[in-house]
Amino acid sequence: MNLHNVEQARFNMIEQQIRPWDVADNAVLELLSLVKREDFVPANYKALAFADMAIPLPGGQCMLAPRLQARLLQDAAVQADDKVLEIGAGSGFMTALLAHQAQRVVSLEINPELADMARANLQKTGIHNAEVRQADGALGAPAEAPFDVIVLGGSVSEVPQTLLTQLKVGGRLVAIVGDEPIMHAQVITRTSETNFKADEKWDDNAPCLLNFPKPSTFVF
């Protein structure tokens, strides 16, 4: 793909996939034209960098479709002085988007190969305020808490209390919650030391994050 075609494909991705999906935040749309998605896609999938689909990554993981990442980013509403925790770095693309908006990003990636890939991609694209750690995201990063924003890069059956307690009061967690076939994107805001408010935003499915507990089902 020559440069003109790449830019045209990026423009089409934003105009045909992302904007129609209720992403109207100009800061998010500008970021998606600025941060080169193709630099974060594994070499053998480069041609699909702008397609409306999840892209396979090593370790059975995947890069979410562009519109899902854009929508999560819009819901997260990251401010310039925010400290952000990302669960599931994947190839580092969402990490890069968050890093452009936040003061600092800590990203936890359970798969060592992906953690290395994300680190290399971030370094290559000149991002210095994001740190990728190989760690189990289900536990969060309690030593660094509290966070202004926590973003989950995949779906969970339910959001563990462990992560919610790592939010600042007034902070928010953005996740896709539920089980196939019905999942909802939620923004959970910590309204006080003990209270949380969940807002359902939109419905779509995403692959589940590893190691997160399944809710207990009662059998009578």
- Asked if 40 contacts 92 with a C-beta cutoff of 8 angstroms, the reply is yes
Residue 188 has pLDDT above 90, yes or no: yes
Q: Using N-to-C axis directions, what is the helix angle for 3-12 and 26-34, rounded to 10°? A: 160
- Quote the CA–CA distance of 187 and 200 in Å, as a whole number: 7
CA distance 80 to 174: 17
Cβ–Cβ < 8 Å for 66, 206: no
Over residues 77-105, mean pLDDT: 97
Calpha distance 50→58 (Å, rounded): 19
Q: Is the dihedral of CA 95, 98, 103, 109 positive or negative?
A: negative
- Phi and psi for 148 in degrees, rounded to 5? -75, -40
pTM across the whole model: 0.93
How does the average pLDDT of the chain come out, rounded? 93
What is the percent of the chain where pLDDT is above 90? 83
Domains within the chain, CATH numbers bracketed: 67-203 (3.40.50.150)
